[in-house]
Amino acid sequence: MLPSAPADDPAALPLEISGVAKRFGDLRALDGVSLRLAPGECLGLLGPNGAGKTTLLRAIAGRVQPDAGSITVLGAPAGSPAARLALGWIPQELALYPRLTCLENLEAFGRYFGLGGAALSTAVERCLRWAALADRADDAVQHLSGGMKRRLNMAAGLVHAPKVVLMDEPTVGVDPQSRNRMFEMIDALASEGTSIVYTTHQMAEAERLCDRIAVVDHGRVIAVGTRDELVRAAFGTRSEVVARFERMDESAAAWIRQRGGRFDGAAARFEVEQPTAMVALLEAAARAGHTLVDVSLRRPDLESVFLHLTGRELRE
Amino acid sequence: MILPVARTALTSLRRDRGALALTFILPVAFFTILAVIFGARRDPTPPVAVIVVDQDQSRASRALVEGLARESLDVRTRPAARHGVEQAEYTEDTAELAVRAGDAPLALVIPAGFAERALAGADAHADVKLVRDASDPVAAQIVEGLLQRIAMTSLPEVMAGRGVRLMDPFVGGFTAEQRRRVEEGLAALRDRPDPETAGPEGGMLIPVRVRDVVGPARNDSMISFYAAAIAVMFLLFTASAAAGSLLDESESGTLDRVLGSRVTMGALLGGKLLYCTALAFGQLVVMFVWAWLVFGVDLPGHLDGFAVMGLVTSFAVAAFGMLIASACRTRAQLAAVSMLLVLVMSAVGGSMFPRYLMPAAMRHAGLVTLNAWAIDGFTKVFWRDEPVWRLWPQVLVLGAAGAVLSALAWRLARRWERS
């Protein structure tokens, strides 16, 4: 066990990750990750499946021992008792006891964090209200709907009122209505000053919830910043022309490359300094004998940023 | 369409190692165990241990003892030497104590005056006494039968003389000449070199009085045995299944979440061990209360011994369950492994057939199982009425086994601690 430092150091950041690396056999799951989380901030980890997001969260929670680097939670080394108490972990899986009721689940996890008596009752009541499950408190988990289970899964990670919360794709498999309800829950949490790390491969979620976003791929953080910072860093003031070709063949692919564009498997993307450049692009295509369909001009988004940085789509 | 369905099922089976083991290894393993236990060719009758106390020291009593020794019996006249020092011969009292302690299933006492009076039918008090452990009903019947056979093979002159004396009044008394010839004939029978070729087969020729010193006047010995034997087997199944919650929690991610809290792996395993022990003890209580209410097993009279054996057995089986759950990767694997291990342990350890019916080698092999020690302990409590302190070997072995198995489980479970 690593030596434990107090987790209530006012000068300490909620989370500080420095040069963390982890290998599983030949797989380099984390490759020198460094990140900082400011108090009250919601930091998104955006990346495709297998990028290393979950491994990073498990390392923060002390469940994965890094091969190199360090992680501190409010100044305490990850995995130390102080860090565990300061952290709330909401895993991707429904990590609940299916035969226990909502109330019993929350009580169990509260006790695992050392709560008891009136403090436990108050905490459980607060979590049930927060998750809008007060009227289902005595229902067994196995009888809840998918969305309710997800909400309880979140509540179980917060019963001990942690200062830093790790959320690992908490909305996976949830219908839009339940997802909105969960977003409201996260907003409420953030408004109380809780620092959050939120992993997702859903661009819209990251944009909706996160103050800053770290783009993760192949175990590395390849860019960090607000949405606008990321877009500006990747595209400057340029816009993006997205076009489909009527006939996509070798000649079309060569023409796209020649014009500095990229083909993502469905459409070609070109960066233009000014919207008027779109006209010139269409004329050039016509001159080269290519017919463009579904042509649109748009401001680049996070998906564009990810494609720009990694050369592949977020959902690959 | 039938063949593709069959092919898919076969492919699934091939990928499921647990199911494969259950399908092919378990039946073979079981067959092997039963073949060894009841393998008639090599060892048809396990030697019955019988303590013999010859108080008569007559020619007839010595012939009887020698006759017994020639049969397939393990005849003991004194306890096994301790530290190379030969022990004193058994007396009637020490023989009875030895039977009570389970050293042998029965003791045969030939009282003084046996040859003079009992064989003549003059004094029933001089009859051969069989002091019996009722938990082994077979041993006494074997020895009783052998005694009658030996009467005809080793004591032909005594049997013939008895016949002559019975006949004497009906023929109006033998003449002096007839009496001399009879005596000569009996002497010839006595000196005959090969007793195996002796005369006719008969019924109860040697009077025997049987007395149960273990479980006296009760016919519930087998019920007590099976209450313990079956309970231990199911305890093993229950503990394995209950400990499997570790695997469920690992698969669902709950284990990760729990270990991310203040709960350490030691605390987690300790909690699971406590739960499995309590569950197993509860199962034992239900089993014995049922045996008491329905079959009259004397539970209220043995509460202290039951509590001691119940707790130590529950602890050991719980630790066994924790170990195999920690060693397995999936629930399916656990189900297959526990089925295989528990059935084999139960067969070898006496949960299915009493160990005293097994060949000596199997009896000894059974001692590596928890079943054997647990059943031996419950046997001491319910049949032999032994005081609690006499349970120390079983308590020691089961307690130590529980501690070692728990330590191994903890060692294996550390793979969940941090990757």
- Find the helix packing angle between A102-112 and A146-156, rounded to 10°: 20
Tell me which residue has tokens 């290894």.
B25
Show the tokens assigned to B47. Answer: 């030697």
Q: In what order do the strands lie in the sheet with B48-54?
A: B73-76, B48-54, B106-110, B128-133, B208-214
pLDDT of residue B201: 37
Q: In what order do the strands lie in the sheet with A15-24?
A: A27-37, A15-24, A68-73, A76-77
Contacts of A143 (CB under 8 A, 6+ apart): none
Nearest of B341, B335, B323, B346 to residue B231 by alpha carbon: B346
Residue B414 in contact with partner chain A when CB distance is under 8 A: no
* Shortest alpha-carbon distance between residue B8 and chain A (Å): 30
- Give the tens place of pLDDT for each residue, A9-32: 666 789 999 999 999 988 899 999
Mutate to test the interface with A, among B254, B255, B256, B275 (most CBs of A within 10 A): B254
- Give the tens place of pLDDT for each residue, B280-321: 999 899 989 988 888 888 899 999 999 999 999 999 999 999
Give chain B positions within 8 Å (CB) of A109.
257-258, 261
Q: Is a pLDDT exceeding 70 seen at residue A314?
A: no
Answer yes or no: do B252 and A93 touch at CB < 8 A. Answer: yes
Strand boundaries in chain A, DSSP class E: 15-24, 27-37, 42-46, 68-73, 76-77, 87-90, 164-168, 195-200, 212-217, 220-225, 239-245, 262-263, 268-272, 292-298
Q: Which residues are bridge partners to B52 per DSSP? A: B108
Pseudo-torsion of CA A87, A91, A97, A99, nearest 10°?
140
Radius of gyration of the CA atoms of chain B, in A? 29
pLDDT of residue A165: 94
Show the tokens assigned to A86. Answer: 């300061």
Residue B266 in contact with partner chain A when CB distance is under 8 A: no
For the stretch B73-78, contacts whose Cβ atoms lie closer than 8 Å and that sit 24 or more positions apart, written own/partner, are B73/B47, B73/B48, B73/B49, B73/B142, B73/B143, B73/B146, B74/B47, B74/B48, B74/B49, B74/B50, B74/B104, B75/B50, B76/B49, B76/B50, B76/B51, B76/B52, B76/B104, B77/B51, B77/B52, B77/B53
Show the tokens assigned to A95. Answer: 């990590």
Tell me which residue has tokens 């499921």.
B16
| Top-confidence range, A62-71, B4-13, B58-67, B79-88 | A62-71
Note the helical H segments in B105-220: 137-154, 156-167, 176-190
What pTM did the predictor assign?
0.73
B107 in helix, strand or coil? strand
C-alpha–C-alpha distance, residues A166 and B257, integer Å: 12
Give chain B positions within 8 Å (CB) of A84.
260-262
Q: Supply the DSSP symbol for B85.
A: B
pLDDT of residue A107: 94
Show the tokens assigned to B183. Answer: 């005596």
* Shortest alpha-carbon distance between residue B242 and chain A (Å): 14
CB pairs under 8 A between A and B: 56
Q: Which residues are bridge partners to A97 per DSSP? A: none
CB B275 within 8 A of CB B325: no
AA identity, residue B42: R
Given pLDDT bands bounded at 50, 70 and 90, which one contains residue B41?
very low
| Burial bucket for residue A110 (CB in 10 Å: 0-12, 13-18, 19+) | buried
C-alpha–C-alpha distance, residues A50 and B19, integer Å: 32
pLDDT of residue B2: 76
Answer yes or no: do A89 and B260 touch at CB < 8 A. Answer: yes
> How does strand A239-245 pair with strand A268-272?
antiparallel
Number of H helices, E strands in chain A: 11, 14
Show the tokens assigned to A287. Answer: 């001159």
Whole-angstrom CA distances from A85 to A293, A311, B218, B386 are: 56, 40, 62, 53
A88 in helix, strand or coil? strand
Half-sphere exposure of B62 (CA within 13 A, CB side): 3
Given pLDDT bands bounded at 50, 70 and 90, which one contains residue B380?
confident
Whole-angstrom CA distances from A188 to A62, A129, A182, A193, B344 are: 26, 12, 10, 9, 58
pLDDT of residue B115: 73
Percent of chain A's residues with pLDDT above 70: 95
Tell me which residue has tokens 């226990």.
A100
Give chain A positions within 8 Å (CB) of B246.
none
Q: What is the mean pLDDT of residues A72-76?
A: 92
CB B29 within 8 A of CB B115: no
Q: Which residues are bridge partners to A36 per DSSP? A: A16
- Give the tens place of pLDDT for each residue, A290-301: 888 888 888 888
Nearest C-alpha in B relative to A93: B253
C-alpha–C-alpha distance, residues A152 and A185, integer Å: 11
C-alpha–C-alpha distance, residues A262 and A241, integer Å: 11
Nearest to A95 among B253, B418, B419 (CB): B253
C-alpha–C-alpha distance, residues A11 and B167, integer Å: 117
Number of other CB atoms surrounding residue A36 within 10 Å: 14
Q: Is a pLDDT exceeding 90 seen at residue A267?
A: no
CB A194 within 8 A of CB A168: no
pLDDT of residue B140: 78
Q: Which residues are bridge partners to A196 per DSSP? A: A42, A165
For residue B47, the surrounding DSSP H or E stretch is none
pLDDT of residue A298: 81
Q: Which residues are bridge partners to B211 per DSSP? A: B131
